[in-house]
Structure 1
């Protein structure tokens, strides 16, 4: 079994302010990592800053912060702050995000996502090493930026990557790749693009529930909201689900949300969302690891018979002994 076992923070059923006690439990339960997310709830950095004090010793990572909603210098400053709070334990996860998040919600420009991610990675490498950076990149220009206080230990940087080009960039220039919404059987195909020496991280959505129909109904909403995003649609086309998901995409494009939900086959839901009792869920997570995943990052979702607080405890790796 992998030595890494991560948890998404804060938890879906509570605010960051009400998460302190459960976050503080994570190291004792056997969790090695705590990873934040950034969509339209908490930002990607503050939960990690708080966790650095609430759960000393745990590795902290952002999965992910977009490269187009903050300037490169601000990203460097935020990363340096976390690296100072958690020396050697902070991993900066960055990615291109999506047009909805970058443009519609943050009034930014979603242009050349691969190049913007690559350029930001290259800038951050230099800035977090304490260099003064003056350089024209393909997607932006930096003139004389230097961190006032560079971290003693520069954080590792990992990339959100869904398809071969970005996966190869993660392997060649970053310290790892983060992916999302994949089945255990998909892991070898992703792993083949990055090779054996690059850390592969994935967020796994988990519902501890034996009410299969209820889980599938809830999960379909989550899947439809993600898999209709162009990047995820292309990802699953590459993984081989293009035809089986075509009816969903057609119904969604026509504005028929209910038909789109019904068009997602049960087998796709069951492949992409971990569910069942806690033992079944842990066994499913082990399949990801056995197939080449280095760091599972669990994201327990509400709706099951088991409250999230208990699910966090039941899914902990210490229970594998």
Structure 2
């Protein structure tokens, strides 16, 4: 991958389901716009809108910012027909469209009644995006890829991969599967709390949903974890591999592990025990920006 493409994403991004504007009222959307503008000022490279967003959710963040890359992390191909997605991308202001990246994923069978042949469904979806007028081509999309087949597809049909809920070891394996040129931008969940027990409680609250989804548990089993690691909300070994728990310096060290394993970009998701109702942990985002200043 050309260095300018990696530069488009930057080294560190923020992943947040709270940037998902369709889930809130007008006051909430205003708060999202303010938070997005501040994240850009803090010099994060990419803002990832989590929680299975629409293109319209991302377009609102694009409109609230000036130069930062904005990506969907991850839009479900089952919830949003490819033709509608292509039209939504085309509707983004032409001057800003170049900094929007379409993150796509196949979601999970327990969440999608029509779930079948996910790899084939993704190939067909990409074909439709390629054929749209204007097309949403491979240079403007990334794939949520965990296993070898989807990682290869991310190399062949997209900029690269945006794996979610993975370890540094998975990142090393993904880099080998992708080759040296494709983008590799894993998500890493963060709990800024030096009380170890409390931090693990916060992490387990987030992890509970994902331990019910076979795509994630199968990937973790491939990485050497066992069913015992899933009991009780997640073993300490599992939590330590999947999360950055502790102070900002600990987050910095864990992020470096992912870079050392081959990541080009790391998307940090900040988890808090009490987000004050807004879901926008702006204090923690500022703290991380200070600790990671030389990476931003």
**What is the TM-score of this pair, normalised by structure 1?**
0.78
Task: Give the distance between the partners of 2:149 and 2:201, measured in 1 at CA.
Answer: 34
- Give 1:281's aligned residue: 251
Q: 1:27 deviation in Å?
A: 2.1
SS in 2 for 1:180: coil
Count of aligned residue pairs for this structure pair: 278
Task: Give the distance between the partners of 1:317 and 1:213, measured in 2 at CA.
Answer: 25
Where do residues 111-260 of structure 1 align in structure 2 (5 Å cutoff)? 111-127=116-132, 130=133, 150=134, 156-241=140-225, 243=226, 246-247=227-228, 260=231
- Give 2:31's aligned residue: 18
- Give 1:31's aligned residue: 44
Where do residues 62-141 of structure 1 align in structure 2 (5 Å cutoff)? 62-82=72-92, 84=94, 86-103=96-113, 109-127=114-132, 130=133
Q: 1:211 deviation in Å?
A: 1.1
Q: 1:285 deviation in Å?
A: 1.1
Contact 1:191 1:200 in 2 (8 A): yes
SS in 2 for 1:179: coil
Q: 1:155 to 1:165 in 2, by over 3 A?
A: closer
SS in 2 for 1:274: strand
Task: Give the distance between the partners of 1:317 and 1:287, measured in 2 at CA.
Answer: 19
Task: Give the distance between the partners of 2:136 and 2:187, measured in 1 at CA.
Answer: 29
Q: 1:100 deviation in Å?
A: 3.2
Q: 1:63 to 1:228 in 2, by over 3 A?
A: same
SS in 2 for 1:316: helix
Once the two structures are superposed, what CA deviation does each residue of 1:47-99 show, in whole Å capped at 9, x if it has no partner? Answer: 32122122110001111111111222112112222373623111111111112
Contact 1:12 1:301 in 2 (8 A): no
Highest Rg: 1 or 2?
1
Which runs of 5 or more residues in structure 2 are unaligned? 1-5
SS in 2 for 1:235: helix
Task: Give the distance between the partners of 2:33 and 2:216, measured in 1 at CA.
Answer: 33
- Give 1:4's aligned residue: 11
- Provide the alpha-carbon RMSD of the alignment: 2.8
SS in 1 for 2:14: strand
Structure with bigger helix share is 2
Q: Using the TM superposition, name which of 87-96 and 308-317 deviates more.
A: 308-317
Q: Using the TM superposition, name which of 271-280 and 44-53 deviates more.
A: 44-53
